[in-house]
Structure 1
Amino acid sequence: MRDFPVSLLASPGTQVPLCLMAARHLRYTIALIMALTAMLSPHFLMAENLRIGIVGLDSSHSEQFTLRLNDPANPSHIPGARVVAAYAGGSPDLPESANRVAGFTATLKDKYGVQILGSITEVCAAVDAVMILSVDGRPHLAQVREVLLSGKPFFLDKPVAASLKDIVEIYKAAEAAKVPFFSASAMRWYPGVIEVATAETTPALAAISYGPAPILPFHPDLYFYGIHPAEALFTVMGSGCLEVRRTASAASSVVTGRWEGDRLGTLHAIHALPMGSPNYKLTRFGQKGVVEQKNQGDYTPLLREIIKFFQSRQPPVTRAQTLEIYAFLEAAEQSKSQNGKPISLRDVLRKAGAPEEWLPEAPPAPKS
């Protein structure tokens, strides 16, 4: 194609090839269309200006997550997002909440410049994504329902709720609203846990996970802190737990799950250890040998997963994975009340209102 000179209106007497001018115009038009399309998309979240809101300032997670996002000088700083607004919340009848909410609220406001707002609705209106971090699982269902009205993606901290029924209702509500979310323990991404989980390419024959499980009022006794060693156990064993037996004392509980293929996973929940105890350990029994957890971790890998999720809207942990873990904990509660009787995860999920398509496989009938 031949080049034909044309005059530029902005610069009389200046001439440029017509094809070059057309190419520039085309590139500009394409770039403008792409930018407008991205800005109009509900899934568009710029990596460098992601605004995060927090619901619940009664957990150390509110402080620890915020310092990693808002303090660039912190060695564990995670770029791409910033906490800009929060709703304090709190549970007056739960000391673990009531005694800490004022301190964490002051820290976020005064040290990290977070705007403290008077409602969840106000927080949702000011942000791109939400982290529900209330230490008490009881208000989570009501808090989730308010966040769902905004359509914003959210992370829901442990415990998902204070009952398996509420957990199922949360997933139902989120699915109906078509709003993505996930919940997970930070231990799922501890380097030591991942090292044990990936020690062999074949499934673990068995595993033992132990850790603190202090009992918190108003919650099933393994939900609050027992979720951490339980999630580590499932990170190694994978899905497919069929039934659970539990032996319990005042000091500890031993919960044994039977997986498909007669694989056994054991949770040793130590009730005598306090919150914040670092005494976690995971052991995997595989076809090639035994592998033990050598190191721990912190909140940083989990928070990286949260930010990636907010940007992509693709949860790193599925509904089925999370429901199975809490069904495991619920089955353990029921087994305890029935003197160690084996309890089916399928049965506890059905009783909690889970749809049939959400239920795991039924345990095979006992051999005669």
Structure 2
Amino acid sequence: MFKRLLAACLLLGVLACGRLAAAEPPTVPEGALRAGIIGLDTSHVIAFTKAINSPDAQGDIADVFVTAGFPGGTADNPSSINRVEGYTKQLREQGVTIYDTIEAMLPHVDAVLLESVDGRPHLDQARPVIAAGKPLFIDKPMAASLADVIEIFRLADEAKVPCFSSSSLRFGSVFQQMRTNPPVGKVQGCDAYSPCSLEPHHPDLFWYGVHGVEILFTIMGTGCQSVSCTATDGAHLVVGTWDGGRIGTFRGIRSGKSGYGATVFGAKAIESGGNYEGYLPLVEEICKFFKTGKAPVPKEETIELFAFMASADVSKQQGGKQVSIAEMIEKAEAFNAQRAAR
């Protein structure tokens, strides 16, 4: 309700001044939560801000406001650097205050969405947020390496700062139902698929295949033990073996018809379905997380998900050889120990 009143007051002010350029910063009611965004180089920042600041926002979104942003941008990634200026301009026009550094933004917000489209700067961008004690959501990919994913969670745990990462696909109603659907019964296996475009600075699945891998783990849960991968110019096919002999696969699509979906093999039935339901389910989870400090996705599941993708990369390089998830995590932790000792 108060977002509608604020929007009406803002509109009257704009009309009185006879201008539509940069909107005034939103007046945040006492007790509301102020969110800041790091990385204004993805369409997510526009979609998330519109959803959160909407006068019609309801439930956990209603008393959260995006009030601040830091542009960021990664110079050697055209998908990042070519978008920063335009998205920053759009946020200014929505009344979001833009800061030159993350450190300058942090005193003015209560929680942070790390949205930089390139995963490589995420660890360094997360450090000051964690040091400031702000709840932190990190958009996909959480990082550009498994080691960085593990290190971000370690820092957050050490500082007792709530932190989680997820693709929006995880919270689609169809995929949530597929995880525990009584008519289908206990999940025996799953074949998930999604688009899987590549970006040269990221392991193959991290850039976009992460969406489909998120679907796979939403349905299968943790317990993946080993991974093998076959890849061509048009597709990746990744096979994971879970505890109890369950098998889950991910098909990453780069040619032909694409989409998001899964087939679940249950104890009682086989079910296929899925689609993209937009950002709102994820935004609702983010806002709830900011208030409760309780991550909707356990860190262990996110780490295993990224170990699955990192293992697929190694398997592809080794001609499809099976790669151990546990060994992949151990190597990443050893790398972090060496990095800390430098």
2:281 equivalent in structure 1: 301
- Contact 2:190–2:216 (8 Å) recurs in 1: yes
Shift of 1:198: 2.3
- Residue by residue over 1:264-296, the C-alpha shift from the partner in whole angstroms, topping out at 9 and shown as x without a partner, is 0000011347xxx96111110111111111443
Structure 2 matches for 1:27-66, cutoff 5 A?
49-66=32-49
Closer/same/farther in 2, CA of residues 106 and 75 from structure 1, 3 Å limit: farther
Q: How far apart, in 2, do the equivalents of 1:354 and 1:159 lie?
A: 22
Contact 2:119 2:141 in 1 (8 A): yes
Alpha carbons 1:91, 1:136 under 8 Å: kept? yes
**Aligned partner of residue 106 in structure 1, secondary structure:** helix
Give ranges in structure 2 of 5+ residues lacking alignment: 1-28, 336-342
Tell me which residue corresponds to 1:267: 250
The corresponding residue for 1:93 is 76
Residue identity in the other structure for 2:97: Q
Letter in 1 for 2:39: G
**1:114 alignment partner in structure 2:** 96
SS in structure 2 of the partner of residue 166 of structure 1: helix
Tell me which of 302, 307, 312 is aligned to 1:332.
312
2:117 to 132, 135, 138: 135
Q: Secondary structure at the match of 2:206?
A: coil
In the alignment, which of 346, 351, 359 is matched to residue 326 of structure 2? 346
Residue aligning to 1:80: 63
- Given the alignment of the two structures, is residue 287 of structure 1 paired with residue 267 of structure 2, yes or no? yes
- Separation (CA, whole Å) in 1 of partners of 2:46 and 2:57: 13
Distance 2:30 2:261 in 1: 35
Shift of the alpha carbon at 1:73?
Answer: 4.3
Paired residues of 1:195 and 1:293 also in contact (CA < 8 A): no
Contact 1:331 1:343 in 2 (8 A): yes
Asked whether the 8 Å contact 2:196–2:252 carries over to 1, the reply is yes
What is the alpha-carbon distance in structure 1 between the residues aligned to residue 327 and residue 42 of structure 2? Answer: 33
Contact 2:185/2:268 (<8 A) preserved:
no
CA contact (8 A) 1:193 1:296 kept: no
Query: Any conservation in 1 of the 2:195–2:254 contact (CA below 8 Å)?
Result: yes
CA distance in structure 1 between the partners assigned to 2:170 and 2:30 by the alignment: 24
1:19 corresponds in structure 2 to: none
Amino acid paired to 2:332 = A
Query: Normalised by the size of structure 1, how large is the TM-score?
Result: 0.80
Higher gyration radius (CA): 1
Is residue 41–residue 116 contact of structure 2 (8 Å, CA) maintained in 1?
A: yes
* Structure 1 Cα separation of the partners of residues 174 and 214 of structure 2: 13
Q: Match of 2:297?
A: 317
Aligned length: 306
User: Quick one: which amino acid aligns to residue 153 of structure 1?
Assistant: P
- Given that 1:244 and 1:344 are in contact with CA atoms closer than 8 Å, whether structure 2 keeps it comes out as yes
Structure 1 spans left out of the alignment, 5+ residues: 1-45, 356-368
Given that residues 58 and 104 in structure 1 are in contact (C-alpha distance below 8 angstroms), is that contact kept between their aligned partners in structure 2? yes
Q: Is the 8 A contact 2:197 2:208 kept in 1?
A: yes
Whichever residue aligns with residue 124 of structure 2, its letter is A
Q: CA RMSD in A?
A: 2.0
Measure, in 2, the Cα distance between the counterparts of 1:80 and 1:138: 32
Quote the residue 1:124 is aligned against: 106
